[in-house]
């Protein structure tokens, strides 16, 4: 079983996953993948797995979005790093083990899609084309709570840079459109869909996440 978590930046995904990793060894956290690829190997696998359609489509979405040029460059760099993590996982992960992962392609959708003029259309394409896990866990919280958590952070993520509170709330609200599309499309592709209400405290969010991953069989007593 390979599961991914996703949701808007500052909703509480990484906090819950890192806390879960403290309790269990068999979970790959945000930084838990060990690179097994050299640069040459990486280029070979990128070409060998015929990633052209997906990567070219993502680059087109980024280049035609309303992000600033510096944000576009950062988004493409993150896309490259995520692709490498994807191939690292394919090659290094024990196929008999169970993994929960953040920072892969489902997660990356927030930073790649939310600034498109035709959000629903690009979201339908993205989630129809993206490499998929066995299960997806969607973290949900109100826009006001997400904004509050973001403002408590010391560093702003790429998607939230150069925006005032009103603009940040708009980005967060737009993401809900993307995630509704994601749930429908991923479900049609056979992905198990779970939703997690993250409006509560980090400790309660952790309990909810732990319950879901136990149901999925990612972790066992």
Q: For 133-177, how does the pLDDT look when each residue is reduced to its tens digit (9 = 90+)?
A: 999 999 999 999 999 999 999 888 999 999 999 999 999 999 999
Residue 90 has pLDDT above 90, yes or no: no
pLDDT at 109: 95
Q: At what angle do helices 39-48 and 69-92 cross, to 10 degrees?
A: 90
57, 19 contact by CB (below 8 A) = no
Split at pLDDT 50, 70, 90, the class of 119 is very high
| Residue entry with tokens 């190997």 | 41
Dihedral in degrees, nearest 10, Cα atoms 98, 104, 106, 111? 160
Q: What is the pTM of this model?
A: 0.92
Tens-place pLDDT, residues 61-81: 999 999 999 999 999 999 998
Question: 193, 183 in Cβ contact below 8 A?
Answer: yes
- Note the pLDDT of residue 95: 64
Q: What is the pLDDT of residue 94?
A: 67
Cα separation of 106 and 3, whole Å? 10
* Residue 45 in tokens: 């696998």
Q: What is the pLDDT of residues 7-39, one digit of tens each?
A: 999 999 999 998 888 887 667 665 566 677 788
Angle at the Cα of 80 (from 150 to 174), degrees rounded to 5? Answer: 40
pLDDT score for 89: 80
Of 78-82, 150-154, 177-181, 216-220, which gets the smallest average pLDDT? 216-220
Distances (CA, A) of 213 to 1, 90, 193, 220: 10, 21, 12, 9
pLDDT of residue 24: 79
Mean pLDDT of 201-220: 92
Q: Which pLDDT does position 201 carry in this prediction?
A: 96
Query: Residue 199 has what pLDDT?
Result: 98
Neighbours of 187 (CB within 10 A): 13
What mean pLDDT is reported for the chain?
A: 90
pLDDT given for residue 96 in this prediction:
66
Under 8 Å between Cβ of 175 and 106: no
What percent of the chain shows pLDDT beyond 90?
Answer: 67
pLDDT at 30: 57
Task: Report the C-alpha gap between 75 and 137 in whole angstroms.
Answer: 23
d(CA 33, CA 183): 26
**DSSP-H helix ranges across the chain:** 13-23, 39-48, 52-63, 69-92, 105-113, 119-129, 143-151, 165-188, 202-216
User: Tokens 């779970």 identify what position?
Assistant: 194
Residues 32, 36, 42, 45, CA torsion sign: negative
C-beta separation of 138 from 38 below 8 A:
no
């Amino acid at each position: 079983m390979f599961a991914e978590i996703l949701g808007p930046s500052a909703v509480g995904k990484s906090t819950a996953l890192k806390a879960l990793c403290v309790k269990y060894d068999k979970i790959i956290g945000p930084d838990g993948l060990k690179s097994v690829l050299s640069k040459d190997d990486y280029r070979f696998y990128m070409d060998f797995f015929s990633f052209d359609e997906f990567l070219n489509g993502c680059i087109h979405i980024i280049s035609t979005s309303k992000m600033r040029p510096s944000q576009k460059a950062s988004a493409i760099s993150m896309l490259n790093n995520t692709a490498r993590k994807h191939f690292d996982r394919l090659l290094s992960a024990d196929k008999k083990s169970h993994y929960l992962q953040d920072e892969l392609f489902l997660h990356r959708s927030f930073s790649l899609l939310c600034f498109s003029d035709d959000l629903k259309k690009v979201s339908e394409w993205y989630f129809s084309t993206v490499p998929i896990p066995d299960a997806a866990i969607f973290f949900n919280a109100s826009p006001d709570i997400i904004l509050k958590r973001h403002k408590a952070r010391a560093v702003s993520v790429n998607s939230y840079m150069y925006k005032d509170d009103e603009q940040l709330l708009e980005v967060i609200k737009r993401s809900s459109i993307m995630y509704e599309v994601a749930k429908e499309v991923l479900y049609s592709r056979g992905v198990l869909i779970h939703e997690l209400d993250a409006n509560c405290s980090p400790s309660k969010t952790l309990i909810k996440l732990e319950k879901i991953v136990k149901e999925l069989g990612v972790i066992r007593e």
